Amino acid sequence: MNIRIRTGRVILLLLCVLSLVSGCMGRDDSEQSTNGTIGMQSGTAVTENSITQLPPEPGSVSEDGSDDSSSEDVSVEPVQVRILQIYTMNASTLEPEAVSVLIPQDTELTPEFIVDTVIATLEDQGYTIEVESVTTQEDAVVVSFYKNQAPSSGFGSSAESAVLDVFAQSLVDNLEDYRKVIYRLEGDAYSSGHFEFGLDQVYLERAN
């Protein structure tokens, strides 16, 4: 009877000791686990939620507005230009007038380029002229306008005559290889309410 009591007390004592030991070990593991988590959050290790800031690219502007890149002197060579004198129609007087246009020095003067430049100057005066085609025929430039559009339609005789003059004069003055200008309407002979020309009739010819 005494042996059983003592044995029970010993077992009870062992259980208490084991309980205390396991409790301490569990607390240590928990502290270690917590300390380990804090170390990962406050340390330099990369986790899934960490954001890496890349260094700014050269030439980028930082948050304070300063340029991080080193400034370099970039030398730009000036473009060589020359003066091209052509003609346009004065919106007030409806008469041709000479205008000077700056173009790059190495620009090739072609009939198409001259016509396009005259169109641009007319647009500056408030007139929209569309050209159907620009071709050459021996020493003549053939300019074909659209039917039912300016200058053959919607213009008075003074404005129509001035537009035809500014194209023709601009072409013969700037193209050495072409001395004549012929007008057509979509490939057909030019005919409007004010003027009629034969299919190959020369509108303007340079004297020399």
Query: What is the mean pLDDT of the segment spanning 109-117?
Result: 98
- Whole-angstrom distance, CA of residue 115 vs CA of residue 35: 83
For residue 187, give both structure tokens: 């490939």
Burial 54-83 (b: 16+ CB within 10 A, else e): eeeeeeeeeeeeeeeeeeeeeeeeeeeeee
Q: For the chain, which residues make up each domain, given as ranges?
A: 1-38, 81-205
Distance of CA 93 to the CA centre of its chain: 38
- Whole-angstrom distance, CA of residue 161 vs CA of residue 195: 9
pLDDT digits (tens, 9 = 90+) for 146-188: 999 999 999 999 999 999 999 999 999 999 999 999 999 999 9
Q: What percent of the chain has pLDDT over 90?
A: 62
* Residue 40 clears pLDDT 50, i.e. is over it: no
Task: Tally Cβ neighbours within 10 Å of residue 161.
Answer: 18
pLDDT digits (tens, 9 = 90+) for 127-147: 999 999 999 999 999 999 999
pTM here is 0.64
* Residue 19 clears pLDDT 60, i.e. is over it: no
Asked whether the beta carbons of 142 and 184 are under 8 A apart, the reply is yes
Query: What is the mean pLDDT of the segment spanning 111-115?
Result: 98
* Residue 201 clears pLDDT 50, i.e. is over it: yes
The per-residue pLDDT for 50 is 37
Q: Exposed, middle or buried by CB within 10 Å (0-12, 13-18, 19+), for 172?
A: buried
